[in-house]
Amino acid sequence: MDAGFNSTKLSPIRQDPVAILVSFSLRQPSRDGDINLLFLLLPV
């Protein structure tokens, strides 16, 4: 999956600093634990 392509879908929430951190962390697949933690912090 291309991170740039996903960022277009996340455009409505790109203003959220947490979402930006998530999109940045997605570029580092070696840290799956951190990515899961960030998703848990998201107010979904």
Q: What is the reported pLDDT for 32?
A: 60
pLDDT above 70: residue 44: no
Residue 17 has pLDDT above 70, yes or no: yes
Residue 10 pLDDT class (50, 70, 90 cuts): low
| pLDDT tens-digit readout, 19-39 | 777 777 666 655 566 666 667
> What's the pLDDT score for residue 24?
72
Residue 25: which domain range? 3-41
Specify the number of domains making up the chain.
1
CA angle 33, 8, 26 (to 5 degrees): 15
Q: What is residue 20's predicted lDDT score, i.e. its pLDDT?
A: 74
Instruction: Judge whether 35 and 25 are in contact, CB under 8 Å.
Output: yes
